[in-house]
Amino acid sequence: MQIAEYVHGRQRIVEAVIGVGRRREARELFERLLALRNDVGLLSEERRVETGRQLGNTPQAFSHFALVMSALDLHEGSVHRGDVPVRGR
């Protein structure tokens, strides 16, 4: 049986780990997430677990949006709520 995972789900794990205050672990997970990008830096919708092959829509806007939000969360040290706009300083 071949198993695929949604890339967006990994980013949600990064957010959850940040939310419980384990920032170092979240950074390590984020770095592993960055390693999933293809040769031109894009993410797909899914990836095959066994091979790492990207599946589904490429590039996937939701995956990239979640990646940016995870980066912001890591930078700020807190998780942003989805129903509240991100404000600049």
24 vs 60, more confident: 24
Q: Is 0.85 topped by the overall pTM?
A: no
State the total domains in the chain: 1
Provide the domain limits for residue 32: 4-76
Residue 86 counted as domain residue:
no
Residue 58 counted as domain residue:
yes
Residue 88 counted as domain residue:
no
pLDDT tens digits, 2-56: 677 777 778 888 888 888 889 999 999 889 888 888 888 888 888 787 787 887 7
Task: Encode 52-89: b = buried (16+ Cβ within 10 Å), e = exposed.
Answer: eebbeeeebeebbebbebbeebbeeeebbeeeeeeeee
Average pLDDT over residues 59-88: 76
What confidence tier does 88 reach under pLDDT thresholds 50, 70, 90? low
